[in-house]
Structure 1
Amino acid sequence: MNRLIRITKPEDVFPQYRNTPISMLLEYHNLNREFETYSQAQMLISMCMDNRKHLNIPDNFAFILRSGGGNLTYSEFKVSFAVAIGNVKYIAIIAHNKCGMVNLVSKKAQFIDGLVEKAGWSREKAEEHFKHYSPMFEIGNEIDFVLSEAKRLRTVYPQITVVPMYYKVEDNHLYLITE
């Protein structure tokens, strides 16, 4: 975890992100910066669908995409829309600790049983569903995943600043990651 940089004052933000929507996100969320008014999104934020996370940001500040693990692999069209139509030039990809998309195989039985018992699926259908989709959504280690996802998106959108971040559920803070 020594790759995580806690943001406790504006000067903690990496120099290349100062005075950008990235620093604003960190200052709003971690430092309780007074909200400004926005009429259009300044950035795109990708974060996990986990219900334990909530960002402290003003209305209209960002497009927000939520998916398991913050994985944007199957959301490129939405990202492209935010870039092409929404004019965003910054993307924050936020992973978090204790993510349910880590080690999905350990949740296989619970996943299948849950679909059978709660959704009325047949066991065979639930097993096939898990078998088909779990490899697509397994993220492995949260920090390694968010770093690789940022690297991947930088190749897809070379003129967009893509920043990997980490959210600690225990303290509700965003961290920058040393790459």
Structure 2
Amino acid sequence: MPGQVGPIANEQEGLLAYLAQSRYVLRLTAFGLTEEQLRATPSASSLSVGGLIKHVATTEESWMTIVRGEPQTVDYQAYETNFRLADDESIDDVFARYDRIAASTEKTVLDLADLEHPVPIDHSVPWNPADRDFWSLRWVLLHLIQETTRHAGHADIVRESIDGATAYPLMAAAEGWPETDWLKPWKPQA
């Protein structure tokens, strides 16, 4: 995937394209890492690259469950474990799940075909406004873009703390870009 979203024909296509790009950039933070490095927490926080990817996938899945009006069980006790890869989880498992969630999100948005589709606001949490009852599907997609890019930034910092890798050199390595005087694709440390 290129480093920029290409031309878009309409708002719905644009929102889905920016969400896909945000997912891709987040996934790149895991490129070339070992299972141990995916679980590493080398910064001041307890965040890891693998845990951040797992969390964002779970968050997107949760929002789309609400959009579709499906029953949802929220386990606030499991919130912290949602930020960590379990011992029996691999990044390939997380990526496969994230791919299924992304496909489901796209299908949901295309099937609804209405960015004004009302999405109920959860009033049980203090960060949601008490004076409104619904978000729009547009708002949910913008929120998912914000959530994904915010955590991609966290993952960038964690990744750079692990081995010094940054976004464009990782993208260059993942996509096989040629080396230039000003951009060298990432290579594993010897």
TM-score, normalisation: structure 1: 0.27
Higher RCO, 1 vs 2 (CA within 8 Å, ≥6 residues apart): 2
Task: Give the structure with the higher percent strand.
Answer: 1
TM-score, normalisation: structure 2: 0.26
Task: Give the structure with the higher percent helix.
Answer: 2
